[in-house]
Structure 1
Amino acid sequence: MASEEKRIEDELSYPILLSEQIRSVVDEVESFKLECSEVGKHVDRISQMLRTVVRLTTTTPVMYERPIRRIVADVSKNFERALTLVRKCKRRSVLRRVVTITSGTDFRKLFVLLESSVGDMKWFLSVFDSDNGGGGGIGVSLPPIASNDPILSWVWSYIASIQMGQLPDRIESANSLASIAKDNDRNKKIIIEEGGVPPLLKLLKENSSPEGQIAAATALYNLANDQERVRAIVDEVGVPIIVQVLGDSPMKVQTMAASLVARMAENDNVAQEDFARENVIRPLVTLLSFETFVDDDPNLHQPGKQSIHSIVQINKEMEKNSSSVSNSSINRNRPFKSSLSNSSYSYSYSHMDGSSRGGNHRKERENEKPEVKLQLKISCAEALWMLARGSVSNSRRITETKGLLCLAKLVEKEVGELQYNCLMTITEITAAAEFNADLRRAAFKTNSLAAKAVMDQLLRLIEELDSPTLQIPAIKSIGSLARTFPARETRFIGPLVAHLGHRDLDVATEAAIALGKFACPDNFLHMEHSKTIIEFNGLPPLMRLLRGSEQSQLHGLVLLCYLALHAGNSDSLEQAKVLNTLDGADRITVQHPELKELVAQAVYHLKMYHSGVHSQRLTYVP
């Protein structure tokens, strides 16, 4: 509720005061006495219902005020109109009666408005009257105020039920909100505007009913499909609540919470960073690694190398040392920030041995159906993907939790959506590392077990699978890491060169982009890599790629220019008639004028090298 809004008691006092004024004037009228008497009866009836609402507001601990504010505002307008009309019927001079003419039509219009107010008040009381199945019960009638927009009355009823009703009604109403929110964006907007987010978050936070938590999370998920609505959830302090639920709930609830994290992070960078500050990445990685690492993997137990389980044990000890802080009462100034972050740590590293709060669900986790466990991992992997997307800091956090090793293992073992989500997370991390040297050096150093596992899986996907859906992100990841490979590490260049001739043009284009990152001037080893590309017979498929789509021509031409610049003395370039191709690249450079200078440099170098001038490398002079 906006801070400038009046207290609900103050809102209600105004129409009650108007009703008393109307009653007083009705007793004094000289004309249209019968009509004024009917006005008085309508006003008295509405006034009684307003007083009932006043009693409700003083006795109900939590009142959903949005509909009554709208209805009371409408009642006040109708009462003001009634007061004006009955005042015209008081005894006046002949001149005033001539100037101010009152007719039966005015009263008929007023009766319609007052009847509407009676209907609105009856509807409101039916929704909130616990003795008659209300207390948040879903109203089946349609209030006149919402006659032109039935969704509004449904939303009011559902939100009132979630906020004030009994648990079964709250769950039913949350599911109903989720359903209408899924229909269209207008419904989503109404739910947000009418204050639906706070009661949904409250239901999500209550761990007494997993069914209720799932219903609330589903409704929030359906709402959070654009930045404005995600920001509404963030502004209601929703992020810490979601992280808490993710850290200490049954598996099905965690699945929906992880999906909600993914959608909010996807649509709003503020939510993306808020989730990271609340330390959501650590429990996500831990849930993703559940039953992933097995004892028969010798690489995870070699002396001096930390497995995911050793990291778990280290952090469990750290958690014990800080338990006096994490188990303290909630900080009253910031009710969620520190305490919920600590609870996430506690769950993440204690569910394996049944200690702490997460242990409450240990048996349920072990006994869950395989498809439930799989869906949880799919949601967690998607959440990590969206958290890492475009964020160097989040990508770093994932690598610091040993998430790379977990992702590589799942890419190796799994298929379908889980494999794809893990691969896309790796792709986002490598994309961040491409432009951040610190992350690149920390996460992808050559002696890193996790980095080696990732590289091996990327290479396997490129070489062994025939799936563009997986090959394209794998190739993109290799290209992002081009600056990490030493000159002797040629095992990635060969497969990329082979894919320049792939029958799927998108795969071939992505291979050209990746090889361009090996051969570009920003790569310290561009000379060596360019020669290697030519040695792997990359020119013939590259020349064919130049006859493809606009995108393939663009990236193929860039790669060809780099090869000409950095390995211009190669006879293969002359045999492939690269110079003729570059001379005839006018059509591409017209569409992409930023390439004109690069092509001109490449042509100059080739003419120098292949016109008898081989003694030294000449520099292009524009």
Structure 2
Amino acid sequence: MVKQILAKTVELADQVTKALDVAVVSSEEKEWVPKLKSKTRMLAGLLRQFLSRDLSVLDSYGRLQRLVINGVEGILSRFLSKLLKRCPVNCTVIDKIKLCFTPTTPLSDFRNIPRLLDNSIQDVSWILHLIWNYEYEYSTLPPIASNELILFIIWEQIAILRREPVSLECRSDAACALGSLVRDDCRNAEFIVEEGGVEPLLKLVQEGTMEEQENAARTLGLLALVRQGVERMIHAGVFKVFAKILREAPTKVQVVVAWAVSMLADEHPECQHGFAQHDVVPLLVSHLAPETDSDVNVNDDHATMAEMKAMAATALWKLATGNSVICHSLSNSGALLYFAMLLEKGSEDVRFYSAKALMEIAAVAENNAELRRSALSSKSPAWKNVGDQLLIKITDKADPELVTICIKAVGNLAWAFGATETRMIDALVGFLQETEDEMLEACIALTKFVRPNNYFRHDFSKQIVRVGGAMQLIQLLYFERRIIQIRALALICNIAPEIEELTRDEMLTALKWASNQSYMTQDETLNTLLRKAKSRLNLPHQSRGSRGCP
């Protein structure tokens, strides 16, 4: 099909040249016509160069070649039609051409043709250079690119990745340029994927130099922002390629690939299974282990190793999110112990991502009884270390964002604490007077300790009341933002049976006030809790009244 289109365009160029050959004989414009003939012959020669190449390569440039060739064909057709438009119907083609160059044909009809032919010559030269490294004497993109500038830049960079031989620096720069385009505008990721950029980038990750691998992996991670990009990567074997990199490549390349894994898993959770099947999880876990001096490659400094831990933790966090199989794997692999150690001694980023991973593992375990029994038993040394480190980070209060994550993790693990683990309750109650984010997360976490499905809910409820939590919750109920008020109300309703006599009247008054706030009673579950709590708090009053009757 492509060959037929090109042959037709070459024939059209030859037709114009033949017409101009006759025109030179019959026209008085001796300078103007030869220039047009020269340009048309040059264009025909370039099109023949096109025909002589391996046209199967054009399968990867379908949109580009159609745009350029259709443009050339349009210009030549326009030129020829101008030559023939005033001829009698019964003339042969050559006779028509002869008649065109009579004084009745104004030269203004051809004013733009030389410029258009020059543009076509540059367009065809550029595509020959782009695909087959043909000599190209221009330093800019072709004129046709003015209408689709970003697309032509993308085509140029992808062609550099595909073309061989090409300098290593060029391929690295091309991969980097594609990544920059995605960062500038996410829609560019769609163009890169549609124009076949995924496969050469993945090949560069496999076969390139270290710098090329880094830039290509970084761009692939960004292409995960579009669904088509992930599908193309999966089809091209991204799981196998990334697993090989995490097993064999230099640490600096593994850092970027681990980040790309996190992007793929985050944007498209269905990738979790593919990475797990190719042993990416244990490969990432191995980077969490404490390294000795002998583990550090001569080319890797401690900063690189710290970055590797951070990206490995990030990837594991994203892979673990909502995935019980991967959480089982992590819990049985020593990852919990590593996360606890990194939470204690890691850099700021490493602590943050380790806490995130623990939070997600705990969130999955919260709703997965088998995982709770087999992997996160409270008797496990790894679990004890995790609990200790979460408590330390909560009580340190050094990093508000990290504190919030650790509070969430503790709440997700509420089922795992025994009745004697009152230190967690004490710490969480302390956050009922801190920042809004911390108050909110503390309310949510404490509610998980005292909800009906927690075996030790009565012990935890008593501890909340014992350390002054009830009065603090009343203050939140009255004076904080609605989202905090609602969370505080849910917690109050759950601890209502354990409210002491001294605070019972104040608590009942607060619950009656809450009943009159429409936004607090919209949720049917919360409304049911509220009615039950009020009923429980009213019982002692009714009992006292009956005992006092004669």
Which one of the candidate residues 61, 73, 77 is aligned to 1:76?
73
- Higher deviation after alignment, 371-380 or 115-124: 115-124
Structure 1 partner of 2:492: 560
| Matched pairs, number | 528
Work out whether residues 128 and 134 of structure 2, in 8 Å CA contact, stay in contact via their aligned partners in 1. no
Question: What pairs up with 1:5-16 in 2 under 5 angstroms?
Answer: 8-16=2-10
Structure 2 partner of 1:314: none
CA distance in 2, matches of 1:103, 1:394: 78
Structure 1 partner of 2:400: 468
CA distance in 2, matches of 1:592, 1:142: 64
Closer/same/farther in 2, CA of residues 273 and 614 from structure 1, 3 Å limit: farther
Structure 2 partner of 1:203: 204
Supply the AA of the counterpart residue of 2:460: H
Supply the AA of the counterpart residue of 1:593: Q
Tell me by how many angstroms 1:103 deviates: 6.1
Work out whether residues 480 and 517 of structure 1, in 8 Å CA contact, stay in contact via their aligned partners in 2. yes
CA distance in 1, matches of 2:53, 2:413: 65
Tell me by how many angstroms 1:32 deviates: 9.3
Which one of the candidate residues 557, 574, 586 is aligned to 2:504?
574
Tell me by how many angstroms 1:470 deviates: 1.6
Supply the AA of the counterpart residue of 1:146: A
Tell me by how many angstroms 1:141 deviates: 1.1
Work out whether residues 342 and 351 of structure 2, in 8 Å CA contact, stay in contact via their aligned partners in 1. yes
Alignment of 1:147 onto 2:139: no
Work out whether residues 258 and 311 of structure 2, in 8 Å CA contact, stay in contact via their aligned partners in 1. yes
Q: Deviations over 1:324-381 (max 9, x none)?
A: xxxxxxxxxxxxxxxxxxxxxxxxxxxx9xxxxxxxxx7x625521111111111111
Structure 2 partner of 1:543: 474
Gaps of 5+ in 1: 1-5, 295-351, 353-361, 616-622
Structure 2 partner of 1:590: 519
CA distance in 2, matches of 1:601, 1:219: 56
Structure 2 partner of 1:321: none
Question: What pairs up with 1:490-529 in 2 under 5 angstroms?
Answer: 490-501=422-433, 503-529=434-460
Task: Say which structure is richer in helix.
Answer: 2
CA distance in 2, matches of 1:553, 1:510: 12
Supply the AA of the counterpart residue of 2:160: S
CA distance in 2, matches of 1:219, 1:21: 47
SS at match of 1:287: coil
Q: CA RMSD in A?
A: 3.5
Closer/same/farther in 2, CA of residues 272 and 73 from structure 1, 3 Å limit: farther
Tell me by how many angstroms 1:229 deviates: 4.1
Structure 2 partner of 1:433: 365
Tell me by how many angstroms 1:580 deviates: 0.5
CA distance in 2, matches of 1:140, 1:451: 63
Work out whether residues 21 and 37 of structure 2, in 8 Å CA contact, stay in contact via their aligned partners in 1. no
Structure 2 partner of 1:114: 117
CA distance in 2, matches of 1:16, 1:234: 41
SS at match of 2:378: coil
Work out whether residues 231 and 268 of structure 1, in 8 Å CA contact, stay in contact via their aligned partners in 2. no
Which one of the candidate residues 316, 339, 352 is aligned to 1:420?
352
Tell me by how many angstroms 1:431 deviates: 1.0
CA distance in 1, matches of 2:545, 2:268: 56
Closer/same/farther in 2, CA of residues 202 and 367 from structure 1, 3 Å limit: closer
Work out whether residues 458 and 498 of structure 2, in 8 Å CA contact, stay in contact via their aligned partners in 1. yes
Closer/same/farther in 2, CA of residues 187 and 578 from structure 1, 3 Å limit: same
Structure 2 partner of 1:341: none
Work out whether residues 515 and 521 of structure 2, in 8 Å CA contact, stay in contact via their aligned partners in 1. no
Supply the AA of the counterpart residue of 1:612: S
Work out whether residues 125 and 136 of structure 2, in 8 Å CA contact, stay in contact via their aligned partners in 1. no
Question: What pairs up with 1:604-619 in 2 under 5 angstroms?
Answer: 604-612=535-543
CA distance in 1, matches of 2:519, 2:167: 69
Tell me by how many angstroms 1:469 deviates: 1.3
Which one of the candidate residues 6, 13, 23 is aligned to 1:19?
13
Work out whether residues 313 and 354 of structure 2, in 8 Å CA contact, stay in contact via their aligned partners in 1. yes
Supply the AA of the counterpart residue of 1:505: E
Question: What pairs up with 1:384-423 in 2 under 5 angstroms?
Answer: 384-423=316-355
Closer/same/farther in 2, CA of residues 15 and 239 from structure 1, 3 Å limit: farther
CA distance in 1, matches of 2:514, 2:56: 81
Closer/same/farther in 2, CA of residues 253 and 72 from structure 1, 3 Å limit: same
Supply the AA of the counterpart residue of 1:436: N
Tell me by how many angstroms 1:411 deviates: 0.6
- Higher deviation after alignment, 514-523 or 590-599: 590-599
CA distance in 2, matches of 1:536, 1:497: 8
Question: What pairs up with 1:10-89 in 2 under 5 angstroms?
Answer: 10-23=4-17, 41-57=38-54, 67-88=64-85
Which one has a bigger Cα radius of gyration?
Answer: 2
Tell me by how many angstroms 1:422 deviates: 0.6
Structure 1 partner of 2:383: 451
Work out whether residues 64 and 160 of structure 1, in 8 Å CA contact, stay in contact via their aligned partners in 2. no
Tell me by how many angstroms 1:247 deviates: 1.9
Identical amino acids, percent of aligned pairs: 31
Tell me by how many angstroms 1:459 deviates: 1.5
CA distance in 2, matches of 1:29, 1:486: 101
Instruction: Using structure 1 for the length normalisation, give the TM-score.
Output: 0.76
- Higher deviation after alignment, 61-70 or 408-417: 61-70
Tell me by how many angstroms 1:10 deviates: 4.8
Work out whether residues 172 and 211 of structure 2, in 8 Å CA contact, stay in contact via their aligned partners in 1. yes
Work out whether residues 377 and 416 of structure 2, in 8 Å CA contact, stay in contact via their aligned partners in 1. yes
Work out whether residues 32 and 89 of structure 1, in 8 Å CA contact, stay in contact via their aligned partners in 2. no
Closer/same/farther in 2, CA of residues 365 and 12 from structure 1, 3 Å limit: farther
Q: Deviations over 1:209-257 (max 9, x none)?
A: 1121112123333444454544443444333322322221001111111
Alignment of 1:602 onto 2:522: no
CA distance in 1, matches of 2:64, 2:144: 10
CA distance in 2, matches of 1:133, 1:174: 22
CA distance in 1, matches of 2:471, 2:220: 53
Q: Deviations over 1:111-159 (max 9, x none)?
A: 443332112112233445647589xxxx731201112343333332222
Closer/same/farther in 2, CA of residues 589 and 243 from structure 1, 3 Å limit: farther
CA distance in 2, matches of 1:524, 1:103: 98
Structure 2 partner of 1:217: 217
Structure 2 partner of 1:531: 462
Closer/same/farther in 2, CA of residues 64 and 289 from structure 1, 3 Å limit: farther
Closer/same/farther in 2, CA of residues 116 and 367 from structure 1, 3 Å limit: closer
Work out whether residues 471 and 503 of structure 2, in 8 Å CA contact, stay in contact via their aligned partners in 1. no
Supply the AA of the counterpart residue of 2:127: F
CA distance in 2, matches of 1:212, 1:392: 35
